[in-house]
A and B are shown apart, each in its own frame.
Chain A
């Protein structure tokens, strides 16, 4: 029987949520982020591709989408940091009958803005967006995207036909971006009723037409909260930045050993700073030269520098997947990533130096961060 440990975070603590192919884990520290306690595994044996923390409206709620290989996916929540979880009986994210589709995986859970505390979004496979307006009790398909004329022609990437990233514009309530592999970036400016592509200038290396209307294999997009029109993009070959919310993209693969990779994150306070972990190629999806290097730009992609202090630089053939690189919101930024080989690394100085927090976890598929809310009101 698996021995499940628990953590008891307090207000102001740092929380890491780590999803793996065989369960989820929590790591907590005080705001110094020097020492960490580990909780889990939660949902042992289940793949957990999506985790989120909802600290809005007095909540301290974890969301997880445990996926049983045989028996499907149910969205679960916990108001006591994983000690107990909501009912797992009823499949709460369901495709309507007329779609003929069946939920395969939840890739992303995105609580919406603070001023709409009962709204959440979920990106799923087959590629679709779901929305909840009652704090996660009921979920409905966002028809505007499902009915988009491109959608029947989207093709699955190696990870499946997934809508893997949801970015909400913090200043424009009606604007949202989603990223789909393999389709590209789509943007709504009317709260999800209509969508248009937002990946002009992003190259599709693997297609005869290198700049198709859609079909780009976008691995990750990351938006800066204080400058929401700036988004960085890690493509299936290619690194890009937009400063106009996706109307145009600039190639920023300057000084990287490879522009292939999955994970991407932005610094919480500096929109010119972003992080990636380049991989050698789509044929050999491992860190180049057996060196585990996080590349950081501090000039919006004009140049990238390798961050190696504390990271293995010999025989380290590692893979960091699309949702396994994250930053926190603390004043001195924390940066975190997990590998397919089950190693979890943390930096509390903006990526300059690194510490290994865990080794021997199952393959890590997502890493999410939160600062635990201080006040606890009546959650609903």
Chain B
């Protein structure tokens, strides 16, 4: 049953096909890097010795000593200008971080966040380092240059702001259009739900593969594309336009309205115990906090916001608001604004829906699988478009381009790792060599694409390259200062161990496929068929 007229169907097909073709290669890059970025925390820990990303993202703060005496002692050495706000949180390397915030005009006359940043041992609260100055002058937290590179590639294609965000926003929008047009175009979407790809012709097989993957991925394809486009456009277009509309162009005022600092009437002479507040909040929620914010801290906190990670089964964390003077519980703080609202509830969904980090490793595995499925949808769509035009010589180059991109994106990400690990081990500039590894492997693949014109030969070379790169990556990590498997087991870092094994499993799987090794006897009867690939 067709819901739309023939002419409209043709237009929608043109939209679905051409937008996917023109931007599909970039979209594939975004989707694949996105699927990898879901595991940014785990991959950071895997790639950078000394990092423990779980300390920040998946576990509450480890508060082994009372915070109040530490806070009081630190604030004695911090000037009043930095006491607009205090934030207490964990760090990538498992240390505790206490930051005093203020605002001041920098050399360019622009108001910028100023900080006094303390890094402390979580067990003894001994101050390990102290930095003071503008936010832009602060040393970056411990990081993995490899994962920073891949995540930034996903967020803005490493293009300068705002152009990079515009590009990724447009790609997200294209995917929204593709999912909606695909839904309208697929006339038998429910009855075709279980129709496995037919073998009567290569073109039909390609079409069925694409539509089947697209149909099942439709809900999350739309959600991920919509939320991704939102994130790209929110700061670049949304904030300036809404500031213009509602606050005469004052973006600071807009941010203040959406994310206000709660001002609570001060009780003179009273200072509540931060430790009692934390204990009360933890008892209410059932887990220890992940971070604490003291607003307008000036020896007497006006408000204390205690943030907790999502409870088991939940999506969003819980933030409890307290009177800093009396320690009295005020309310559960909404995601944005001062009062719970429909807008705040909706806004709170965007992050979890896009990042998939609300349920620990389980939700990340599901989101990673969704990303892989969407990557397949994108690539199979490109393949279908090219196969429909296989008889036209002008499109032969596009076929090779699709093959090159399909294998090339993961190979270049592994190329980035090939630049990163040696640089890390040899104490070179890891960011520089990571980028060089990526660009170098991309350039090598382009040269390969130019020299090797036959699709079958190109595919074969790329497959062997991928198998080799997968097999060598854990070896590189281990050879250049990464934790050995024994050390990982001692640190109870099962995830990093599993990541190493997954690389090798991937390489072995590829090898088995390439060599056509049958691991178990096939029971299916050989039918008349055309190879799908």
Chains A and B belong together in one complex: no
Binding site for A on B (CB under 8 A): none
Binding site for B on A (CB under 8 A): none
